[in-house]
């Protein structure tokens, strides 16, 4: 059995090395840069436009782009459910993990990933809305698998995406969330991780059995509450250490382009690792290029694919540029993160062939909790734990819908209930599994899911430009 497990680890590591190789990182950036240039840097030049058509539109009494379809969800519900899926523990534990593995420079590369990712996500959402259709129950079905089949006429790519997405739901959307939640609750309150996983699975199944309407109804209330609560707490921490803000930004920019070695030793730790961890954690956070959240956007009540694409831009902006940056500044300004401690520990661990020293340092959730504790004392741990619970629950609920629709696409509507049962079982498994393996597994399936999606976005780019030009011709600024 140990030999089989060891072989699986080796195979997994090889796949992970491939999907997050420099070639894949270039592919992610290339797609974002392509859409950024061809749509005239719309994330900047159209800032007022997409802001006015998204969050500010929620305060308007009328919306002429609505379809008033009783089976669809509102654009606000689509956004909050998409944000529920992206604003998970990746925004708290994931940012801390990026700092530990890639240094402060990883945050800069998260920004780069998000900047171009805004237009990648815009493009995939536009395609998702354009090619969506209704199933036998009158529910919209959309997402990369649909625009691959209908736009590219490639059932193979569509099936590959749906297959990888189903597995990704058990990683990025499931086990990584339940693991971070269980770890935080166990660390703060001492509750057994198995108990936490079981209770979480029960809560999730009560929501997802109600379908997309119940999922959207829960998330439209949960996401704004948890996001505002977390941001207020984080901003208080940052300003309590406001004198460290310039140094925090300086370390982000300096280490983004700096090649370093741990204690002058053999472990290279610099620009390449910062880029890798920054972009992969950025993708983990905002999912731009993965195509996953396009599935929920495709259920939105709107006639205009381009307007829903603007919601995609806003989604990435809030998730990474705002929330992830706030988390990073909280950790860096508080003094909870000491780069040299991690560098020297990794050097010694590499030399000794163990991970004892590195495991003794705060990681993920604990590092973020230490940052909050610098201002709030013992209440900081509780605050972060509550935030983790809310963020993880929202993500678990949102990602279940993605897997459900991919199962329906591949195996028919009768397969959905089986998927939901398995999904909840994996919540329990994730709660008691190894953290490092779960994060690595999530990264792997993110990359696998992105490959067919990035190919499709590149080949369908002309359709995105056509739809965009048509909309802006009809609606000049």
Q: What is the pLDDT of residues 21-53, one digit of tens each?
A: 778 888 888 999 999 999 999 999 999 988 888
pLDDT of residue 267: 38
pLDDT of residue 3: 72
Q: What is the mean pLDDT of residues 357-383?
A: 74
pLDDT of residue 261: 42
The segment with the largest mean pLDDT, out of 3-12, 238-247, 381-390, is: 238-247
Q: Is residue 240 exposed (0-12), middle (13-18) or buried (19+ Cβ within 10 Å)?
A: middle
List of E strands, 221-317: 260-261, 268-269
Pairwise CA distance, residues 214 & 461, whole Å: 34
Q: What is the mean pLDDT of residues 187-193?
A: 86
With a pLDDT cut of 90, the percent of the chain lying above it is 31
pLDDT of residue 99: 79
**Does the pLDDT value for residue 339 go beyond 80?**
no
Assess contact for 286 and 121: CB atoms under 8 A.
yes
Mean pLDDT of the chain: 81
**First vs last Cα of the chain: how many Å apart?**
64
**What is the token pair recorded at 109?**
């590369």
**Does the pLDDT value for residue 359 go beyond 50?**
no
- Residues 295-336: tens digit of each pLDDT: 988 888 888 899 999 999 998 998 888 888 999 999 999 888
Give the pTM: 0.87
**Does the pLDDT value for residue 416 go beyond 70?**
yes
**Does the pLDDT value for residue 69 go beyond 50?**
yes
Confidence of residue 87 (pLDDT cuts 50, 70, 90): low
The segment with the largest mean pLDDT, out of 67-76, 180-189, 280-289, is: 180-189
Pairwise CA distance, residues 126 & 323, whole Å: 24
**Does the pLDDT value for residue 474 go beyond 90?**
no
Q: How far is CA 220 from the centre of its chain?
A: 18
CB atoms within 10 A of CB 235: 13
Query: Could you give all domains of the chain from N- to C-terminal order, each with its CATH number?
Result: 2-54+76-474 (1.20.1730)
Q: Among positive and negative, which fits the CA dihedral 369, 372, 374, 377?
A: negative
Confidence of residue 356 (pLDDT cuts 50, 70, 90): very low
pLDDT of residue 62: 52
**Does the pLDDT value for residue 262 go beyond 90?**
no
Q: Among positive and negative, which fits the CA dihedral 448, 449, 452, 458?
A: negative
pLDDT of residue 259: 56
């Amino acid at each position: 059995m140990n030999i089989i497990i060891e072989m699986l680890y080796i195979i997994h590591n090889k796949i992970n090395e491939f999907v997050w190789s420099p070639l894949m990182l270039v592919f992610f950036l290339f797609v974002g840069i392509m859409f950024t240039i061809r749509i005239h840097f719309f994330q900047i030049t159209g800032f007022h436009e997409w802001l006015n058509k998204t969050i500010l539109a929620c305060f308007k009494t009328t919306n002429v782009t609505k379809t008033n379809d009783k089976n669809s969800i509102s654009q606000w519900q689509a956004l909050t459910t998409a944000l529920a899926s992206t604003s998970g523990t990746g925004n708290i534990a994931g940012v801390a993990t990026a700092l530990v593995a890639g240094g402060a420079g990883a945050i800069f590369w998260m920004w780069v990933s998000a900047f171009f990712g805004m237009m990648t996500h815009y493009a995939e959402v536009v395609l998702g809305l354009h090619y969506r259709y209704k199933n036998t129950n009158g529910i919209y079905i959309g997402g990369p698998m649909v625009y691959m089949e209908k736009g590219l006429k490639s059932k193979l790519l569509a099936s590959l995406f749906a297959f990888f997405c189903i597995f990704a739901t058990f990683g990025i959307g499931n086990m990584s969330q339940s693991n971070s939640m269980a770890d935080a609750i166990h660390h703060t309150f001492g509750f057994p991780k198995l108990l936490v996983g079981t209770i979480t699975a029960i809560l999730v199944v009560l929501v997802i059995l109600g379908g997309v309407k119940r999922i959207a109804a829960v998330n439209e209330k949960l996401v704004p509450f948890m996001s505002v609560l977390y941001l207020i707490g984080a901003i208080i921490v940052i300003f309590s250490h406001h004198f460290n803000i310039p140094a925090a930004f300086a370390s982000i920019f300096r280490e983004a382009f700096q090649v370093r070695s741990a204690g002058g030793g053999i472990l290279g730790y610099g620009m390449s690792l910062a880029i890798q961890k920054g972009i992969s954690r950025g993708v983990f956070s905002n999912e731009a290029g993965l195509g996953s959240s396009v599935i929920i956007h495709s259920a939105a009540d709107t006639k205009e694919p381009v307007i829903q694409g603007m919601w995609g831009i806003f989604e990435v902006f809030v998730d990474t540029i705002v929330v992830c940056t706030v988390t990073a500044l909280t950790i860096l300004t508080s003094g909870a993160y000491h780069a040299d401690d991690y560098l020297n520990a990794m050097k010694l661990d590499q030399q000794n062939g163990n991970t004892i020293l590195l495991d003794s340092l705060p990681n993920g959730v604990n590092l973020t909790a230490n940052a909050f504790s610098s201002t709030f004392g013992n209440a900081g741990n509780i605050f972060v734990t509550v935030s983790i619970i809310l963020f993880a629950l929202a993500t678990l609920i949102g990602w279940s819908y993605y897997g459900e629709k991919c199962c329906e696409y591949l195996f028919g509507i009768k397969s959905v209930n089986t998927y939901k049962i398995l999904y909840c079982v994996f919540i329990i498994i994730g709660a008691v599994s190894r953290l490092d393996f779960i994060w690595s597994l999530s990264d792997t399936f993110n990359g696998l899911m992105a490959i067919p999606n990035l190919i499709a976005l590149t080949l369908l780019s002309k359709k995105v430009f056509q739809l965009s030009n048509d909309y802006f011709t009809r609606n000049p600024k």
